[in-house]
Structure 1
Amino acid sequence: MYTIIPFEKKYQEGISEMMTGIQDEFEILFRNPDGKQISDIAGPENLFWIALNGNEVAGTIGVSRIDDDSAFLRHLFVSKEHRGAQSNVSKRLLDIALNEAKILGYKSIYLGTMEQFKAAQRFYSKNNFVCIPREALPTEMPVSPMDTIFYLLKNKELNPAL
Structure 2
Amino acid sequence: MSEFYEIKHHLEEQMCLLSSLTGLMLITMPWLRYFPIFSQTFRKLDNNLTTCYEFIKRPINKRISERDKQTPEERGEPNDLVDYFLDQIETGKDEYFSLKTITPFCFDLFLAGQDTTSTTLNFLVLYLILDQRVQSKMHEELDRLEEEKGRNGFDNSVTQADRGKLPFLNAVINVVD
- Interval of TM-score (by shorter of Structure 1 and Structure 2): under 0.3
Structure index of larger Rg: 2
Structure number with higher helix proportion: 2
Q: Identify, as 1 or 2, the structure richer in strand.
A: 1
What TM-score, normalized to structure 1?
0.24
